[in-house]
Amino acid sequence: MRAYVIASASAFSACLVYVYIYRSHRSVQTHVLASNKLPSLVYLYAKYWMRTLTRSSGVLHAAAAPEVEYSMVNCRLQGTVFRRFCSAAGYGWDYPEAEFRDIPLCFPEFLCSKLLLLLLTDENFRLSPAGFWGISRPARAEVDIRLSATSRSGSTVWESVLTFLSEGRGSLQNVDERRQHHDEQASGNEKQVELRAPWTAGFQSSWSSSSCSPQQMFCVAARFLSRGSGPASGLWMLSVCLAEIEKHKGVDVITSPVKVVAQFTEPLLVPGRVTIRFGENNEGQSSVKDHTFCMEQHGRSTPLLIGVISRTQFN
C-alpha cells in the first residue's frame, strides 16, 4: 500500500511538472506565442523567484542579446475577460453601452501581463525583477519596456512605454517639481470626484506585472490572510481615473488617437477613499486642450498619481 501511494504521488508530481513547467518552457523558446498557448503562472513565478535569488537589484548584468522581445499572435477579445476587467476597473460590467467603441486604454496592458512577466524573467534581461517599482523615486537603474498592439493589417493601434525603477538613493526633487507643475496647469473648472478604493483593488496587481517585487507579492499574501492594508495596483489607479474622465468629460477625450502620460508618486493604501481631480490644461492657445488629472488619498493634498491626456498621431 505504501509503495502504491509513493508511486501515485510520483506520477502526479511528474504530470504537474510536465504540464506546468516543461510544456511552458518549450513554448517560450521561439519568443512568439499563440494567445491560447501562453505559459502557466506556476512556470513564470518559478522563473521570477529564480532570477530574484540569483541577481542583485539595481545592477546591470551581462547579456548575450542586446534586446529582449516577445510576441503574442492571433489575439481574440474574450467577452468574459473583458467584462471582468471593466467591472473591476471603474467602467462597469455592462461597458460599453454602444457598439464600435474603443476598448479601455488600460485593457491591452492587462492582456500583456504574461508577456511582461516573461520579459522581466528572461535570461537576457539585464536587471533583476526584484525591487522594481512603478512609483517615481530615486533609482540606481531604470529601464523602459515598450508594449504595442498591431492590427491584422500591420498598423500600430496601441502602444505603451512602462518605466521601471530599480531601488537606489538620491533626491526627490523631480517628483516635487512635477507635483507643482500639475497644480500650475490645472484650470479653474477642474472637477473633483470621490471614490471608494476597495480592498480588492490591491489584488488587481495580478492583472499586470507592473508592480513586480517580492514586497508586493508578500503584501498580497498577507492581505489575503489578514485583510489588512496594502498597496493598490497602479493599473487599477490609472484605469479608474480614465473611466471617471470618460464619464464626466465624454468619450471624445479618450478616443484615439490619444496619448496618456502618467506618473505614480506615492502608493495608494487600500481599503480607503480617493479623490480624483481632472480638468483642461490652461496652457497654450490651441483649440484642442490637453486634460490633466491626479489621484489623491482622501483628506490629503499629496497626489498619488499625476497624468496628462493629449491628442496625438502615430508615426
- Grid cell in block for residue 90: 471603474
Buried b (16+ CB within 10 A) or exposed e, 205-227: bebbbbbbbeebbebbeebeeee
pLDDT above 90: residue 275: yes
Tell me which amino acid residue 120 is: L
- Whether residue 72 is contained in a domain is answered as yes
Q: Does residue 12 lie in a domain region?
A: no
Please determine, for residue 226, whether its predicted confidence score (pLDDT) is greater than 50: no
Residue 109 and residue 160 in contact, taking contact as beta carbons nearer than 8 Å: yes
Rounded distance between C-alpha atoms, residue 81 and residue 240, angstroms: 17
pLDDT score at 231 = 79
Cα(315)–Cα(311) distance, rounded to whole angstroms?
A: 13
How many structural domains comprise the chain?
1
- Are 108 and 160 contacting, i.e. CB atoms less than 8 angstroms apart? yes
23 vs 4, which has greater pLDDT?
23
Q: Residue 75 belongs to what domain range?
A: 31-311
CB 243 within 8 A of CB 219: no
- Whether the per-residue pLDDT at 276 is higher than 90: the answer is yes
pLDDT for 129: 78
Q: What is the pLDDT of the chain when averaged over all its residues?
A: 77
Grid cell of 94 as nine digits: 455592462
Q: Nearest CA to 198 among 265, 266, 267, 273?
A: 273
Number of Cβ within a 10 Å radius of residue 163: 14
Tell me whether residue 18 is in a domain. no
Three-state SS for 86? helix
The grid coordinates of residue 290 equal: 490637453
Of the listed ranges 43-47, 135-139, 241-245, 286-290, the one predicted with least confidence: 135-139
Which residues touch 124 (CB under 8 Å, ≥6 apart)? 63, 64, 65, 68
DSSP per position, 119-167: HHTSTT--S-STTEESB---EEEEEEEEEEEE-TTS-EEEEEEEEEEEE
Element (H, E) at 2: helix 2-16
Tell me if 231 is assigned to some domain. yes
Q: Averaged over 188-211, what is the pLDDT? A: 69
What are the grid coordinates assigned to 240, written together? 479608474
User: Would residue 256 count as lying in a domain?
Assistant: yes
pTM of the complete model beyond 0.75: yes
Determine contact, residues 113/209, Cβ cutoff 8 Å: yes
In CATH, what number is assigned to the domain containing residue 299?
3.10.129.10
Structural domain contains residue 161: yes
| 2 domain-assigned | no
Question: Closest by alpha carbon to 121, among 170, 68, 190, 74?
Answer: 68
Distances in Å between the Cα of 4 and the Cα atoms of 7, 9, 10, 11, 257 are 5, 9, 10, 10, 63
Q: Kindly indicate the confidence band of residue 305, based on its pLDDT and cuts at 50, 70 and 90.
A: very high
| pLDDT of 218 strictly over 50 | no
221 CA to centre of own chain: 19
Nearest to 134 by CA among 112, 160, 163: 163
* Percentage of residues in the chain having pLDDT higher than 90: 17
Q: Is 33 helix (H, G, I), strand (E, B) or coil?
A: strand
Q: What is the mean pLDDT of residues 306-315?
A: 80
Q: With 0-12 CB in 10 A as exposed, 13-18 as middle and 19+ as buried, what is 308?
A: middle
Statement: residue 211 has pLDDT above 50: no
In a domain, 151, yes or no: yes
Q: How many CB atoms lie within 10 A of CB 197?
A: 22
The answer to whether the CB of 279 falls within 8 A of the CB of 290 is no
Instruction: Answer positive or negative: Cα dihedral of 201, 203, 209, 212.
Output: positive
